[in-house]
Structure 1
Amino acid sequence: YGTAMRIGTNHGSLSDRILSHYGDTPLGMVESALEFLRICEDNNYYNIVLSMKASNTQVMVQAYRLLIQKMQEAKMNYPLHLGVTEAGEGEDGRIKSAVGIGALLEDGIGDTVRVSLTEEPEFEIPVAKALVERYAQRSIHSPIPKVENQKSEEIVNQQSSIVNLGYNPYQYERRKTIEVLNIGDHNVPRVVADFSEKQSITPASFFAVGYNYSIPLDKWNLTDQACDYIFVGNNKINFETPGTLGLIYNSKTWKTLENKIRCYPLFTVSEYFSSDKKSEELNFISVTIDDILQLSNIPLFQLSNVALVFETTNEHGMAEQRRMFIELMQKNISVPVIIKRNYIDLSEKNFQLHSSTDIGTLFLDGFGDGIWLSACVNASTNKKQNSSSKNTNATAFGILQATRTRISKTEYISCPSCGRTLFDLQETTAKIRKRTDHLKGVKIGIMGCIVNGPGEMADADYGYVGTGVGKITLYKGKEVVERNINSEHAVDALIELIKKYGDWVEKETVNY
C-alpha cells in the first residue's frame, strides 16, 4: 500500500548475538539495522528510512557515518532520520541535539530530523527548524583547499579504503599534542572567555564566567564552570585575579605590562615571528587556513611554547577548521589548538545552536585543546550589544559536556513526553535536577515508561523509570535494583541509591 517503515537501532537494546560479535558499539548498531534491512529486501520491500538511536553524541555520529559507509559497500542508498535520543531539557538538551544532529548536517548527512526534548512537544519544532534552515544557502561559501598528497589507507574493521585524513571518523581518538603550560596533551580542553569588548573589567565581571569573590573570606571561589583564560584585549586589570586564571592580552599591550605573571600574549603570525619579546611559558598565535598552509613548512623548534588559535570567517567554518587540523596532522605538527569562532548578529538561541554545531563537530572528531567563543547581537546597528558572558561561557562548557570531552556537571538523559509516560516528566526532571545538579560527572536517566526507557538510558549511571501508575523502578547502570517504589518516595530513594554506590557529595554552601 506504499506504507513506509523506519528501522531504528537503539544503542542500549542490541541483541545478545550482536553484542557477542560487535559489543555495545556503533558498528554493532549498524549491523543490527542491516540485518533487518536485508530481511526487508529479501521480501522486495524497499520503502525504508533508517535511524541510529543513542543519547551519546559520539556513538550517534559514528554510527551514522558507519551506516553510510556500509550502505555504499552494499550499493544501498536509503534515507536517514537524525536525532539524539533522550537529549534532555533546556540548554543541555538543545546543545546536545545541535552537537549530534549538526555534526551530521554539516557533512551533508540526513533527510529528516527530530529534536527530542523533555519539554512540551511544540518547543521541539523551532529547534529542529533552526538547525536545518542554516543550510538553505550553505552551498555559497568560500572554497576550502583540497587535501594534498591524497593516498589511501585501510581502516581497522573497514573493508574499503578511504582518503588518508589523518584521523578515523568512525572512532573517537583525541589528536595527540604536546603540552604547553596547561593546554594540550592529557589536559582537558580549556575554555577562553572574551572580555575584549568590555568598557571596563572589575571583579564583578568575573562572576559570569565562574569566579565569585567572597568579601568576608577575601578570596575567590571557583564553580565547576570557571573558565581557564580570559582574553582582555587591550584592557588593563588593576586588581588581584584568581590564581588559577590566565589573562590573554593583545601582544603590543602585553609587552607594556610590568607584571606578566599569569599573563600571555596573543600574536598574529607576522607579529610572532618578528617579535623580539615572547612569553617563556605560553604564546597564543591567531591563524587562518592560509597561515596554516604556510606554517606547515616552519620547523617545529620555532613553535615552542605556542598554542595556535584557529580563526575562520568562512560560511562553512567547521569544514575549513577541520581542513586546518588535517593539515597539521599530515605534517606531524603537534602544537595544541584553541578553536575560536566569532558570531555576529545572531539571537542567543541561534548562537547556542550554531556554535554547538560548528565546534561540537570538531571535538567529536578528536580535534581541539580549547574553545573560545565570541558573540555579538545587533551588530548591524550603531549600538553593538555583547552576548551575555554567562550564556557564552555556559555554552562553551555545554559543548564540551555534550561531546564528553570535559565534564563539568551532572548529565540528564530524559525522554520527551508521549502517550506511554506514567508520570509528569518535566516536573519530575526538575525535582531530580534540583537535588542532584551538583553531582559532576554523574549521568542520570529519567524515563517515562518501561517500553524504551531501559534501552535508551543504557549509557546512564542511574535510572529512574516509570513502570506503572504511581510506580517507579530504579536502575544502577542496566541492572534493576529497586522495583515499584511509590512515586512520592522515589526521588528520595534515588538519592539513597546514589549514596549507596558512593557517588553522592553534599552541596557546598558559599558565603559571598
Structure 2
Amino acid sequence: MLTLNAPVHASHPDLPMTFSRRRTRPVVVGNVTIGGEHPVVVQSMINEDTLDVAGSVRAIQRLHRIGCEIVRVTVPSLAHAHALADIRQKLQQQYLDVPLVADVHHNGMKIALEVAKHVHKVRINPGLYVFEKPKDNRTEYTQAEFDEIAAKIQATLAPLVISLREQGKAMRIGVNHGSLSERMLFTYGDTPEGMVESALEFIRICESLDFRNIVISLKASRVSVMLAANRLMVKRMDELGMNYPLHLGVTEAGDGEYGRIKSTTGIGTLLAEGIGDTIRVSLTEAPEKEIPVCYSILQALGLRRTMVEYVACPSCGRTLFNLEEVLHKVRSATSHLTGLNIAVMGCIVNGPGEMADADYGYVGKTPGSISLYRGKAEIKRVPEQEGVAELIKLIKSDGRWVEPQV
C-alpha cells in the first residue's frame, strides 16, 4: 500500500511550499478524517455491479492498495444495499476495513437507511433524493408548493440523518449541476446559485437535527461552473458561520489528456485558493487511472508528497547530453522513492541556480561528464555513462534509498 506523508512545509521562509487552506471541521469516515488540519484525502469509485460481491471486493482492494483512501460504491436498490453488507464483511475478513461510501439516488430513503448500517458514509444528491416531477407548463411555484415539498424532504431525510448521527457516521451532500430539482431550476435557473441553495437546504435540515458530520460537493462537467459554485459555497458558509469540508471534482470529465486537464484545472485552481479537503478525478477510464492524477495534482501544489519531484530544464543548444533520454533513465531508477526532489539539468548556465531547492542534482558541466550535487554543493564529477549509478550511490550514502518492490 502507498505510504503517504504529511503536507510539505517550506524549507525556506521566503519560499512557501504549501497553500493556506481554509479551516474546516474534521469529518471522520472510517479510519480517515476529512478536513481540519488533515491532508487532502483521495477518493475514487468502483465501476463493478455491487451485486458482484467478489468482484467488488477485488476492485476496492486494487484501488486502496494504490492510495485511494475512500472508495465509493453505487447502491441503486435494497438488494445492492444488502450486497454491500457482504462486501464490507469480506473486506474486513480478507483485507482491511476500507472506508466505504454508499452512493444513493432516486427516492432513496429505504435504501439509504439500510446501507447506512454497513458503510462509513452515505452520499445523497439533493436533486434526486426526493424526486420532484417537472411540469412543462409551470409558470410559478406557490408558497404552499414550496412548503409541501420542504416538509416531504424533511420527513424523508430526517430518519437517515438520525441514523447516521447515532452511529457516528458521515454524510456527503453531493449536488450535481446536471440534476438540480425543479424548484431550484425554476427559482435560480441552471446556475451555481441553485447548486449552493440546494446544498444549504439539506444542510439546514441536518443542523436542525444536531448532525454536522457532513461533507459538501458541488460538481459540474464545466470547469467554470464548478469553480463558481464552490467559491460561492465558501462565501455563503462563511456568512452563515458554517465550516463544512468540501469534496472537489469535475464530474464527467471524459478520458485521456483532456479529461486530466479539465480535472486538474478545476481541482487545482480551488486547492491553490485554499478550498478543498478531499478530491476525486472522474475519468471515463478504469478507476485505477484516477489515483495517479489525484496525487500529481496534490504533489504539484505541495499538498502531499507521494513520489519524487523531478526538476528538468527543457533543453537547448547548450545541453551537453540527451536530456530526455537521461531524465527517463533517472526517473526509471528512482521513481519508486518518496519525497525526494531530483534535478536533471543540461548545462551549467542555469543548472545550479534553477535546482537550488533539489535534494540531488544531475548536471552536465563538461562534455562526457556529469556533476552530482547534494543540495547546492557539488559532490563529485563522474563519466556520463556512470551518472545514474553514481546518483544512486549518493542517495544510498545519505540513507534515503529504498529498494524497489518487485
**Considering the TM-score relative to the shorter chain, is it more than 0.5?**
yes
2:121 to 255, 264, 287: 264
Deviation per residue, 1:271-301 (Å, 9 max, x gap): 5852313322222111332335657877597
Query: 1:232 touches 1:248 (CA, 8 Å); kept in 2?
Result: yes
Name the residue aligned to 1:289. Answer: 196
| Residues 481/326 of structure 1: CA separation in 2 closer, same or farther (3 Å cut) | farther
Residue 421, structure 1, aligned to residue 319, structure 2: yes
Aligned partners of 2:213, 2:367: CA distance in 1, in Å?
Answer: 61
Name the residue aligned to 2:402. Answer: 505
| Residues 303/443 of structure 1: CA separation in 2 closer, same or farther (3 Å cut) | farther
Aligned partners of 2:34, 2:219: CA distance in 1, in Å?
Answer: 18
Residue 336, structure 1, aligned to residue 224, structure 2: no
Aligned partners of 2:364, 2:391: CA distance in 1, in Å?
Answer: 13
Aligned partners of 1:320, 1:449: CA distance in 2, in Å?
Answer: 46
Q: What are the equivalent positions in structure 2 for 1:128-207 lying under 5 Å apart?
A: 172-181=19-28, 182-195=33-46, 198=49, 200=52, 201-206=55-60
Task: Indicate the SS of the match to 1:322.
Answer: helix
1:318 to 208, 217, 227: 227
Query: 2:39 touches 2:303 (CA, 8 Å); kept in 1?
Result: yes
Aligned partners of 1:332, 1:461: CA distance in 2, in Å?
Answer: 43
Deviation per residue, 1:236-295 (Å, 9 max, x gap): 3444224252111134434224961x5321123485852313322222111332335657
Name the residue aligned to 1:379. Answer: none
Query: 2:199 touches 2:216 (CA, 8 Å); kept in 1?
Result: no
Query: 2:248 touches 2:276 (CA, 8 Å); kept in 1?
Result: yes
Deviation per residue, 1:334-387 (Å, 9 max, x gap): 21111132125x3411001111111011111111110023233xxxxxxxxxx2
Structure 1 residues 407-416 or 264-273, which shifts more?
264-273
Name the residue aligned to 2:73. Answer: 232
Name the residue aligned to 1:462. Answer: 360
Residue 255, structure 1, aligned to residue 121, structure 2: no
Aligned partners of 1:449, 1:455: CA distance in 2, in Å?
Answer: 11
Query: 1:422 touches 1:448 (CA, 8 Å); kept in 2?
Result: yes
Task: Indicate the SS of the match to 2:249.
Answer: strand
1:173 to partner: Cα distance: 0.7
Name the residue aligned to 1:132. Answer: none
2:305 to 373, 391, 407: 407
Aligned partners of 1:406, 1:282: CA distance in 2, in Å?
Answer: 24
Structure 1 residues 408-417 or 357-366, which shifts more?
408-417
Query: 1:289 touches 1:312 (CA, 8 Å); kept in 2?
Result: no
Name the residue aligned to 1:276. Answer: 159
| Residues 303/458 of structure 1: CA separation in 2 closer, same or farther (3 Å cut) | farther
1:447 to partner: Cα distance: 0.8
Query: 2:49 touches 2:56 (CA, 8 Å); kept in 1?
Result: no
Q: What are the equivalent positions in structure 2 for 1:17-416 lying under 5 Å apart?
A: 24-25=14-15, 172-181=19-28, 182-195=33-46, 198=49, 200=52, 201-206=55-60, 209=63, 211=64, 222=65, 225-234=66-75, 235=80, 236-237=83-84, 238-239=86-87, 240-241=90-91, 242-243=95-96, 245-251=98-104, 252=108, 253-257=111-115, 260=118, 262-269=119-126, 274-277=157-160, 278-279=163-164, 280-287=168-175, 288-292=195-199, 302-314=210-222, 316=224, 317-344=226-253, 346-376=254-284, 387-416=285-314
Query: 1:470 touches 1:487 (CA, 8 Å); kept in 2?
Result: yes
1:435 to 329, 333, 336: 333
Q: What stretches of structure 2 of length at least 5 have no aligned partner?
A: 1-11, 130-152, 176-194
Name the residue aligned to 2:371. Answer: 473
1:193 to partner: Cα distance: 0.7
Task: Indicate the SS of the match to 1:444.
Answer: strand
Deviation per residue, 1:122-169 (Å, 9 max, x gap): xxxxxxxxxxxxxxxxxxxxxxxxxxxxxxxxxxxxxxxxxxxxxxxx
TM-score, structure 1 as length reference: 0.56
Name the residue aligned to 1:496. Answer: 393
Aligned partners of 2:397, 2:305: CA distance in 1, in Å?
Answer: 22
Name the residue aligned to 1:105. Answer: none
Deviation per residue, 1:448-506 (Å, 9 max, x gap): 11111222222322111111111111222222222x21112221221122223232222
Query: Which one-letter code corresponds to 1:246 in the other structure?
Result: P
Query: 1:267 touches 1:285 (CA, 8 Å); kept in 2?
Result: yes
Aligned partners of 1:244, 1:470: CA distance in 2, in Å?
Answer: 54
1:197 to partner: Cα distance: 6.9
Aligned partners of 1:308, 1:289: CA distance in 2, in Å?
Answer: 10
Query: 1:309 touches 1:339 (CA, 8 Å); kept in 2?
Result: yes
More helix, by proportion: 2
Aligned partners of 2:116, 2:72: CA distance in 1, in Å?
Answer: 18
Aligned partners of 2:390, 2:276: CA distance in 1, in Å?
Answer: 40
Query: Which one-letter code corresponds to 2:67 in the other structure?
Result: A
Task: Indicate the SS of the match to 1:250.
Answer: strand
| Residues 507/176 of structure 1: CA separation in 2 closer, same or farther (3 Å cut) | same
| Residues 283/337 of structure 1: CA separation in 2 closer, same or farther (3 Å cut) | same
Query: 1:254 touches 1:263 (CA, 8 Å); kept in 2?
Result: no
Aligned partners of 1:206, 1:324: CA distance in 2, in Å?
Answer: 31
Kindly tell me the number of residue pairs found equivalent between the two proteins: 319
Aligned partners of 1:257, 1:458: CA distance in 2, in Å?
Answer: 52
Aligned partners of 2:236, 2:297: CA distance in 1, in Å?
Answer: 24
| Residues 323/452 of structure 1: CA separation in 2 closer, same or farther (3 Å cut) | farther
| Residues 467/198 of structure 1: CA separation in 2 closer, same or farther (3 Å cut) | farther
Q: Percent identity?
A: 29
Query: Which one-letter code corresponds to 1:263 in the other structure?
Result: H
